[in-house]
Structure 1
């Protein structure tokens, strides 16, 4: 049996035989496991979580989910792999297996965007292992997200540009140069609100088969398997300390965030100013100060919800 490096990078072997890239850094009594977005994104938005949260006594573990760049990528052209792995229950159980492999318990779970879907589902199924839940830029359903992001499109672009985009989408012509240019403007304004803060690669490292299956072809075209996901009405079951954090200028509707804060019985809501969907990149000082305070408050027994 392989002994994991307690501080550093490890590849863990799942019961299904595939391998996941993991990294654990930091020292302190609070344990935090992060779930990246996408679907099919990477852990890289969490690279500085350990040094940023060190003063709050947080030990951070992060990993790439199955199908993402640093972990194994099954051949999703095979129907058997799509059926077995491309579903929410698989990824939720994967979180639980990662928790067991890393020896985490009574820990904080942070889900960013798609990772927030998994975090909500994990809290509902395996909540007995959690000390606290953190939902970063994710609401409890996709209907409100789809409505909001299309409203953003109508506010950003002229009627002719919106019609042009819709025509390209109807034709499934997602590589049209002008269409790609318009979609990129969304990312520049709402996914990353500040100038070029996101990690960069010389090649595309997105797990495209995973993203396309769950999401669709881009943020405007929500036609994938995730479109019907809806946990409205179920949040009252999550009674552990919960922290909701959203960018002040992002793709998720803040009206839904405020509704969720009212439904979760033990929650705190924070809006990160001057930040888009990638809050930790756009305004890290504000994001980490408030996240660290939540973890510290729960750890020391002084956490109080907003209501």
Structure 2
């Protein structure tokens, strides 16, 4: 596959932005988070993984910044706001990019899709990378509430809940508290991230699946749960989380025990976006995983692999 940007046309007529960077025999497809974020977090993957010879592909999902953005208030377009649709979209992207026997990396919401993909289309996968995503949302909801109860006085937590109940999400004091949570648990080093002069998040998609922010889970994803199916994922799997992730690390350790062949690594000084917070440690983890599986597809990843990098 040639490097560069390419617009693909889906069977439903919508257009998606795709991009491929880097070179080498190892093929990695990255699925962004959000929901409603975009591919930009993966732009440096080709450069960072150059020594391992990885060709990295990425794309913007329907509704995201560089792809078609349908009006989801139109009842005819609401049918696309489902996990099943975005899973089918991922498979169609794979087909159009000509990927087979490849590694799939999903970050956050992308990790939901990656798990769903591994459960349905494992025959195409050589390996799986779940980045800051556990196997269910109920444990995540418990954890994000616990994190803010740890960080703020009870009166401040009560205030946040009152604002959320009244849906006054433009409240300045509330947003200041949310930003403090983001700085500790979502992206600890935003100075490492790119900047835009306009908002790039697909708010309608994010609100529908998630809610107003990372610490309010009211969207349709709130009941998603694959705990009972996780053991069916047999491909070599890397579980990578930030030391200060919004995801519960106890659940990550449980997943490591349940998955037949997995490696769990925590990125020091990393939040939910730990590839941005501590890229040196993150890419060392990712490169080592790819190298180990390439050298021996039957490698036992469970041997001494729960650690910080």
TM-score range, shorter chain: over 0.9
| Separation in 2, partners of 1:27, 1:181 | 43
- Which stretch shifts more, 159-168 or 254-263? 159-168
Q: TM-score, normalised by structure 2?
A: 0.96
Match of 1:18 among 3, 14, 20: 14
Q: 2:289: which partner in 1?
A: 294
| Separation in 2, partners of 1:268, 1:63 | 26
Q: 1:48: which partner in 2?
A: 44
Cα distance, 1:114 vs. partner?
A: 0.4
Q: Does 1:69 align with 2:65?
A: yes
Q: Does 1:250 align with 2:245?
A: yes
Cα distance, 1:195 vs. partner?
A: 5.0
Match of 1:58 among 25, 41, 54: 54
Structure 1 contact 140–231 (Cα < 8 Å) conserved: yes
Q: Does 1:81 align with 2:85?
A: no
What are the superposed Cα offsets for residues 165-220 of structure 1, whole Å, 9 maximum, x if unpaired?
A: 11111111000111111111111111012253232211111001100100011122
- Which stretch shifts more, 281-290 or 187-196? 187-196
SS of structure 1 residue aligned to 2:118: helix
Match of 2:126 among 119, 124, 131: 131
What are the superposed Cα offsets for residues 236-270 of structure 1, whole Å, 9 maximum, x if unpaired?
A: 10111011000001100100000000000011111
Q: 1:284: which partner in 2?
A: 279
Q: 1:175: which partner in 2?
A: 170
| Separation in 1, partners of 2:199, 2:268 | 29
SS of structure 1 residue aligned to 2:5: strand
What are the superposed Cα offsets for residues 41-82 of structure 1, whole Å, 9 maximum, x if unpaired?
A: 011111100000111111000110000001001110112211
| Separation in 2, partners of 1:176, 1:25 | 41
- Which stretch shifts more, 207-216 or 197-206? 197-206
SS of structure 2 residue aligned to 1:196: helix
CA separation of 1:284/1:260 partners in 2, compared to 1, >3 Å: closer, same or farther? same
| Separation in 2, partners of 1:190, 1:265 | 29
Structure 2 contact 19–57 (Cα < 8 Å) conserved: yes
Structure 2 contact 134–252 (Cα < 8 Å) conserved: yes
Structure 2 contact 243–271 (Cα < 8 Å) conserved: yes
Q: 1:30: which partner in 2?
A: 26
Match of 1:163 among 158, 165, 171: 158
**What RMSD, in angstroms, separates the aligned Cα atoms of the two structures?**
1.0
Structure 1 consecutive aligned stretches of length 4 or more whose deviation exceeds 4 Å = none
Match of 2:145 among 136, 150, 153: 150
Structure 1 contact 192–198 (Cα < 8 Å) conserved: no
Q: Does 1:229 align with 2:224?
A: yes
Cα distance, 1:304 vs. partner?
A: 2.1
| Separation in 2, partners of 1:187, 1:131 | 34
Q: 1:191-202 to 2 correspondence within 5 Å?
A: 191-202=186-197
